[in-house]
Structure 1
């Protein structure tokens, strides 16, 4: 609750910015994509739906990881409370970002489905599975990058350009089947496009051929989670008062 009040304040729409801000970004990207990318005509895919399912995934991993950088430094005073630990500061930000991106996706999808702009999802359970895997990856990387940034501010400065460089290989801008085979094989070593392909399979169904490897993706995320928890333990011991 304190994180919400600190970030969004008590005035105007307050905590509604939690999902209002991602919604504004997503609608803007959808409008631009629909105007300048004739995806629907070329691949029988709805351009607004393609943009919505793509940019929403970008907001999920980019915002969740980015918000975890330097999460402790501005909140060190809270660590003097008995029941507040360093890990709680990261978890609060992770929960807020995942919740905000999820609410934005759900509200926009229902809104545009009602207007008839986009079709209904093909398999909601598969979508939830893909979204859940991506949220798990985002949380794991958030803990890892956030913990490293508390050790060196250089990590926080480097993460932002790295995040932009990751956009072309995130799977948000193109289906994996549209890519040359050699490039696709390299890109699919990253967990994010695997999650996005699974998520989009749930939405678009058999209108495209998805490429993903769930056992491999889960294994990588488990390793990242372990590394993130190790960093959380190290940071907690380093910053929490005796």
Structure 2
């Protein structure tokens, strides 16, 4: 006689998908309340924080007169660059050691390790995307330092690839941090190394040829170049390879999911 499935787990793929959607929704609400619910402006801080940081960077670059060296709008340059940094930086930091404070949740059979990662990553994507969109709208409405994107579909496509890459990298780092504590010690310094190399602070077209070949191996550079090409592509020559970026996204996702499975088996053994 067949053993019935436990209540709430469902029998078919679609039923299990609905269960996972409810689990991730509940984890999202829990994460929002835990992180923002009892602090100052609450969940509004989710996108207010990246907005403030991006505005400060834009003001500093404008004050130093960097806009005088190019006809590229400095506000758009700063918003596109620093918003991308916050996407992969915050997402990766939230996934490293994310299981330890949520270990009790894994006692519930519908809750998986990947669900905890997805909830945290979706929250970061929502906050950073909202701040990115609001900053663009605010500068368009109240300032002449930014022009409308030349290709809004390319901007959306590039941002989606940026988020996909960040999620794959974050899952990989999160699963790896469960196997060794060295990830939590070495990743923060690596973040500061990737800051100047991620393409957020420069355009590939202005670099010497030898440097162009070097930065072409860094996937974040391709995402930044594509994002800026959608904003002001007529002002510069973009250098990016979509297939290379997608290859990195797929590779990181496969590696991260496989590593997550290995981590689960390691804990059960």
Query: Shorter-chain TM-score: which interval?
Result: over 0.9
- Is the 8 Å Cα contact of residues 86 and 235 (structure 1) preserved in structure 2? no
- Is the 8 Å Cα contact of residues 70 and 156 (structure 1) preserved in structure 2? yes
Query: How big is each residue's C-alpha offset from its partner over 1:4-44, in whole Å with a ceiling of 9 and x where there is no partner?
Result: 11111235321111111111111111111111142x32111
2:206 is aligned with 1:178: yes
Paired residues, what number?
240
Query: How big is each residue's C-alpha offset from its partner over 1:183-229, in whole Å with a ceiling of 9 and x where there is no partner?
Result: 11111111100011000000012110000011122112211110011
2:193 is aligned with 1:153: no
Matches within 5 A, 1:1-242: 1-38=29-66, 40-116=67-143, 117-239=145-267
**Which of the pair has more CA radius of gyration?**
2
CA RMSD in angstroms, aligned pairs only: 1.4
Shift in Å at residue 105 of structure 1?
0.2
Determine the C-alpha separation between the residues in 1 that align with 2:206 and 2:267: 47
* 2:200 partner SS: coil
Determine the C-alpha separation between the residues in 1 that align with 2:248 and 2:101: 31
- Is the 8 Å Cα contact of residues 64 and 97 (structure 1) preserved in structure 2? yes
* 1:41 partner SS: helix
**Unmatched tracts of structure 1, length 5 or more:** none
* 2:147 partner SS: coil
Instruction: Describe the shift of the 1:11–1:174 C-alpha distance in structure 2 as closer, same or farther (beyond 3 A).
Output: closer
TM-score, normalisation: structure 2: 0.86
Shift in Å at residue 239 of structure 1?
4.6
TM-score, normalisation: structure 1: 0.95
Determine the C-alpha separation between the residues in 2 that align with 1:67 and 1:36: 33
Instruction: Describe the shift of the 1:90–1:70 C-alpha distance in structure 2 as closer, same or farther (beyond 3 A).
Output: same
**Unmatched tracts of structure 2, length 5 or more:** 1-28
